[in-house]
Structure 1
Amino acid sequence: MACALETLCGQAYRAQQYRKVGIHTYTAIFCLILVCFPLSLLWLYMGRLLVFIGQDPLISHEAVHIPLCWALVFKFELENIGGALAISISNWLNAIFLALYMWYSPACAKTRVPVATELFQGIGEFFRFAIPSAVMICLEWWSFEVLILLSGLLPHPELETSVLSVCLNTISTLYAIPYGLGAAASTRVSNELGAGNPQASRVAVYAAIALEALNTLIVSGILFASRHVFGYVYSNEKEVVDSVTSMAPLDCMSVILDGLQGVLQGVARGSGWQHIGAYVNLGAFYLVGIPAAATLAFWLQLKGIGLWVGIQSGSLTQNILLAIVTSCVNWEEQTVNTELH
C-alpha cells in the first residue's frame, strides 16, 4: 500500500508541490497504522489457520516465525522466537532512523510540514492508489505462498516444503536488486511525468530495463555456477542440497523473469497504473500460474519441480503482459493526464 507514495510523492515533488509531499506522507502513515491492526490479529492466529486448512502441524507452527538471527537465536538461546524478535527490533530501528532522517535532514527541508488536518482530506486519494498497489504486489507474493501450501500436500512434505522454501528465499533475496532498480525507475518516471517531460520518462524506462538485463546476466550466471554448493547455505542435509542443485536452472530462469517484472512494475507504480498491474497479476498467476503448477505437480506427478515450473509460467505471462502495456504507452498523453491530476 505504501507504493502509492511512489506515484503521489514522485509526481508532486517534481511539480514543486512540496507541501503535498509531506501531507501525502502523513496520510499514508495514518492509513497504514489502521491497516496494521487486522493484519496483526491474522498473524496472531496464523498457526491455527494453517493447521485448519490441512498443513502439517509442525510446519505450520514454524511458519509463524521469521528465519533465525544469530544473536538472539544462539547467543541468548531464544531459538525461533529470538529470530522473530530480532526482525521486529530491526524493523522498528529502521522506521525510527528513517523518521529521524526525514525530520532533521536538510534534503527533506522542502517537504517537511507540520501535521495538519489536511492529511484526512487525502485519505480517499491515497487509497485510490494504495489498494491497487497492495493488490498488485500481494497477488504475486501470495501465489508463491500458495505454492508452499500446495507443497505441504505432496508426498514427503518436509522435503518438498524445504526445497521450495529455499528457492523462494533465494529469489526473494536476489529480487532486492531489481526491486531497487524498479524503485529508481518509478521515481524517475513519476518525477519526469510531474515535470511534463514525456521523452525523459521514456528514456528512464529504457535505461532501467538495460541495467536490469546486465544485472540478470551477472546474478543468474553466479547462481548457476555455484549450484552444487549453494544448497549448503540453507541446509546440511544432502537430500535437500541435491534437490536444490536440480532446481538451480529453474531458479536462474526465475531470476531473469523476476528481474524484468520488477522494473516493469516499478514503471507501473511511477505512472499510476497500479490497477492495470493488479489485473495483470490476477490473470497471470491465478488463471495461468497456479492452475499450471497444480496440474504439473499432482496430475503429471512432477511434484516440487512441477509446482515451480507452473508458477514460472505465470511469471512469464506476467512479463509478456506488462511489456505489452509498457510498449503501448503514449507518454505525451500520460504527461497531460498527470498535469490534469
Structure 2
Amino acid sequence: MARAAVSRSKNWSGECKNLWRVAGPVILASVFQFLIAFVTAAFVGHIGKVELAAVSIVNGVIEGLAFGLLLGMGSALETLCGQAVGAGQLQMLGVYMQRSWIICLATSLALLPLYLFASPILRLLWQSADISAASGRYARWCVPQLFAYAVNFPIQKFYQAQSRVWVMTAISGAVLAAHALLNWLVVARLGRGMVGAAVVGDVSWWLLNAAQFVYLVGGSFPEAWTGFSRKAFASLGGFVKLSIASAVMLCLEMWYYTAVLILVGCLKNPEIQVGAISICMNYQLWTLMVALGFNAAVSVRVSNELGANHPKAAKFSVVVATTTSAAIGLILTAVALAARKQMPRLFTGDGAVVKETAKLGYLLAATIFLNSIQPVLSGVAIGAGWQSLVAFVNIGCYYLVGLPLAAVLGFKLKLNATGIWVGVLIGTVLQTVILFVILARTKWQKEAMLAEERIRVWGGNVELPETRETRPSENIDAPV
C-alpha cells in the first residue's frame, strides 16, 4: 500500500513537471502578448471615455472576431503536430505549418472588410454613433495586425508541439518592453492619440513575427524545418476542413464574450457600461492566460501521448492539468475579490466607471474561477481531435442557453450589465459540466488508435502499436 502511494506521488510529480515545462513558458508568453493590448488600452484610456470604449470595442468585437477565427484555424496544428511529434514524424511539421500559413493568410484577406467597414458594422449592431465612428477610425489603422495574427499563430503552435516555448517567451517579453516604450513616446509624449496607438501595435506584432521567424530559419529545427516546400499546397482541402473545425470550436468560445460587449453596448449610458465591463474583461483575460498555458500544455501532452500510443499517460495528464489549474484559479479568484475596488483605477479616473466596475467584481471573480477549468478541458479536446464535437456543445450551451438568458436578464428584467454577465456565466457552467461528462465517458485506447490513423492520413508512416517501445510514463499506477 505504501509503495503504491509513493509510486502515485512520483507519477504525479513527474507529470506536473512535464506540464509546467510547457505551461510555464506559455503562460509568460501569453501574458506578454496579452499585455500588448492591455498597455494600449491603458494609454488610450487616459485620453477619454469615448476613446477607451472605442478601443475596447475594436479589441473585443472586431479584433476579437478575427483573433478567434485565426487562432482557431492555427490550432489545427496542435492536433496534427502534437500527434506527429508523439509518433516521431517530425519531417511533416514544417509542411503542416506552411499549409496553415496559406490558410490563415487567405482567411485574413476574407476578414479585411470587417476592419475597413468597422464603423457601419458597429452601427448595425446598435452601438452609439460616437463610439462607432472612433472605433472605425482605430480599426482601419489596425489592419496590419490582422495579417500579423495569421503568421503568428501557426508558428507558435509549431513551437509548442515540440515543447520549444522558452524562446517564444523571451521574444514576447522583449517586444512587450518595446511596445510600452513606444506607447509612452507616441501616445503620451507626442500625443498621437488612437491612431498612434494602433500604429505602435502594428509595429509590435510584426516585430514579434520577425524575431520568431529568424529563430525558425536559424537551424534550431533541423528535422522539422527544411525550408519552404511545394508540399504545402498539397491536400489543402482536407487541411482546411480540420482548420475550420478547430476555428469553429474556439471562435464560439471567444465570440461568446464578444457578444457580451455588443449586448452591453445596447444598454443606456453605454460609455460607462462598456468601459466598466471592458475593464473587467481585461483583468479576466489577464488571469485567463494561466489557464491558457495549461490549455496549451495539456494539448501537447495529450496529443504527444496519443500519437505515441500511450492512452493511460494521456488520461493521467488530463487529471493533473485540470486539478493544478483549478487550484491556481482559486488563488486568482481571491485576489480579484480583494482588489475589486482598486483595480479599475489603473484604466480610468472616471468615478462612475470605477463604481460600476467595482459592482461587477463578484461576477468577475466567479468567471475567473470557471475559466481556470474550462480552457483546460478545451485543450484536451484539441489534443485529442474532438473539435467538431465540442463545437456542437458550445453552440448549445453558449448560444441557445447563455446569450438568450443574458438578454432576458439584462434587458427584460432590467438588470443591465450584471444580468447579462449572469446569463453568460450560466452558459459557461453548463458547458463545463458537459465537457466533464464527455471526459468521464472517453475510451482512451480508442483515441490512441484514431490518432495513429490521423497521422497516416496526413502523410506520416507510423509504426504499428505493438512494435512501439513503451515509455515509462505509460506505466502509471494511479487512480485515473
Q: Do these two structures clear the TM 0.5 threshold for a shared fold by scoring above it?
A: yes
Q: Is 2:85–2:304's contact at 8 Å kept on the other side of the alignment?
A: yes
Question: Any stretches of 5+ residues in structure 2 without a counterpart?
Answer: 1-72, 143-179, 455-480
CA offset at residue 61 of structure 1? 2.9
- Aligned residue identity for 1:331: W
1:287 aligns to what? 400
Distance 1:38 1:224 in 2: 42
- CA deviation profile, 1:209-260 (whole Å, cap 9, x unmatched): 1220121011111111111211111211122111111111110110111111
Matched, 1:85 2:196: no
1:25 aligns to what? 97
2:190 aligns to what? 76
- Aligned residue identity for 1:47: S
Change (3 A) 1:229 1:185: same
- Aligned residue identity for 1:225: A
Distance 2:301 2:193 in 1: 43
CA offset at residue 78 of structure 1? 1.3
Equivalences for 1:229-244 in 2 at 5 Å? 229-244=342-357
2:241 aligns to what? 128
CA offset at residue 19 of structure 1? 1.2
- Aligned residue identity for 2:340: R
1:47 aligns to what? 119
Equivalent residue in structure 2 for 1:13, among 72, 82, 85: 85
1:340 aligns to what? 453
- Aligned residue identity for 2:192: L
CA offset at residue 35 of structure 1? 0.9
Change (3 A) 1:57 1:218: same
Matched, 1:139 2:252: yes
Question: Any stretches of 5+ residues in structure 1 without a counterpart?
Answer: none
CA offset at residue 136 of structure 1? 1.2
Distance 1:61 1:39 in 2: 19
CA offset at residue 187 of structure 1? 0.5
1:171 aligns to what? 284
For residue 372 of structure 2, give the secondary structure of its aligned residue in structure 1: helix
Deviates more, 1:144-153 or 1:58-67: 58-67
Distance 1:94 1:235 in 2: 29
CA RMSD in angstroms comes to 1.6
Q: Is 1:24–1:122's contact at 8 Å kept on the other side of the alignment?
A: no
Matched, 1:63 2:135: yes
CA offset at residue 333 of structure 1? 0.7
Distance 2:434 2:195 in 1: 41
2:18 aligns to what? none
CA offset at residue 105 of structure 1? 4.6
- Aligned residue identity for 2:80: L
Matched, 1:152 2:265: yes
CA offset at residue 27 of structure 1? 0.6
1:277 aligns to what? 390
CA offset at residue 163 of structure 1? 1.3
Change (3 A) 1:287 1:114: same
1:185 aligns to what? 298
- Aligned residue identity for 2:122: L
Distance 2:268 2:124 in 1: 19
Distance 1:19 1:258 in 2: 35
Question: Under a length normalisation based on structure 1, what TM-score does the superposition of the two structures give?
Answer: 0.95
Matched, 1:216 2:288: no
- Aligned residue identity for 1:28: S
Change (3 A) 1:149 1:114: same
- Aligned residue identity for 2:200: A
CA offset at residue 126 of structure 1? 2.1
1:100 aligns to what? 214
Q: Work out the number of aligned pairs and report it.
A: 340
For residue 341 of structure 2, give the secondary structure of its aligned residue in structure 1: helix
Distance 1:9 1:60 in 2: 41
